Amino acid sequence: MTDSSTTPAGLRTGTWVLDPAGSSVRLTHKTMWGAATVKGAFATVAGSGELAPDGAAHGTLTIEAASLDTGNTQRDTHLKSAELFDAAAHPAIVFTAGRVTADAEGALAVDGELTVRGTTRPLALTGRADTDSPDAVVLTVEAVVDRADFGLTWNRLGMIKGPATISVVARFTHGG
């Protein structure tokens, strides 16, 4: 059963569900020795969370690895292959938020774990929480991730430099 009371910030407690149409997960990464930037988006995302009466929150964001689209079919096929994301063996990229806090101005801190290609690492995010209504909130965060931490080490001729940046806009609605 879902509690329908509200937190001091005005959001309803209980279960929240990701609105895929109002959400996005984007990736940017330098290639060609830093001379070019590859940009892409994951088309399929899902998630849910829970907000307790004391304001404590936690949740999960699941991204379908095979839904990555960079606008280049050959590159996308390679990114999804066993050399990189290995989407056939590891179809989901999962971020589990163990602790989510937001202050009165909307500054957001998220502590959790990211699992990519079967490897889980801690990840702390910062961003913003904007309330559309007591029944809708948009979380906007950005993370810098070292792909090697997750076994994505393919790098022909050293062309791929530095970490990837992941940008997330996650719109959650109250689950009723």
Mean pLDDT on 129-150: 86
User: Rounded to two decimals, what is the model's pTM?
Assistant: 0.86
Can you give the CATH number for the domain in which 52 is found?
Answer: 2.40.128.110
For residues 134 and 174, the answer to whether their CB atoms sit within 8 Å is yes
User: What's the whole-number average pLDDT of the chain?
Assistant: 84
In a domain, 79, yes or no: yes
**Number of domains, the chain:** 1
Look at residue 144 and tell me if it is in a domain.
yes
Q: Is 13 exposed, middle or buried (0-12, 13-18, 19+ CB in 10 A)?
A: buried
Q: CA 126, CA 107: separation in Å to the nearest integer? A: 7
Residue 10 lies in a domain: no
pLDDT of residue 3 exceeding 60: no
- Residue 3 maps to a domain: no
- For 149, the domain range is 16-174
In a domain, 62, yes or no: yes
More confident position, 105 or 73:
73
Is residue 58 in some structural domain?
yes
- Assign 38 a pLDDT band (cuts: 50, 70, 90): confident
- Is 59 inside a domain boundary? yes
| Residue 1 domain-assigned (yes or no) | no
Q: Contact at 8 Å (CB) between 134 and 6?
A: yes
